[in-house]
Amino acid sequence: MPVPKDEFDQLLPCDFSTPEELLEPNEMYTVYEIARLMQGLEPDAAIEEATEAVLLDWAIPWVVHHGDDLVIADPRSDDEPGYYGVKTTE
């Protein structure tokens, strides 16, 4: 159900980091690691499963929006997620 804007104390601009600002150019990341980085956490930070689900709500659209600036790699095994990294000219 939509919520009126005046019910919030503060409205912030929807301004996210670019892939170049968030990710190291020679590294590949899972969407879970990207979600943590977007919150200023280390990629391997331990967080609760419910928190991780909320962070993924931000990270998945970010990956889709920045798809032209990213490369992807298939999982290394069936029990791993895929990987994303900054597209470079190398």
**pLDDT of res. 74:** 93
- pTM, 2 dp: 0.85
Residues 27-77: pLDDT tens digits?
A: 999 999 999 999 999 999 999 999 999 999 999 999 999 999 999 999 999
Side-chain-side CA neighbours of residue 49 (13 Å): 0
Helix axes 31-38, 49-65, angle to 10 degrees: 100
**pLDDT of res. 90:** 62
The span from the CA of 20 to the CA of 71, in Å, is 12
**pLDDT of res. 46:** 96
Pairing of strands 83-86, 70-73: antiparallel
Q: Is residue 84 helix, strand or coil?
A: strand
Neighbours of 19 (CB within 10 A): 23
The answer on pLDDT for 12 being more than 90 is: no
DSSP 17: -
29 or 12: whose pLDDT is higher? Answer: 29
Q: In sequence order, which residues have a C-beta less than 8 Å from that of residue 3 and are 6 or more positions away? A: none
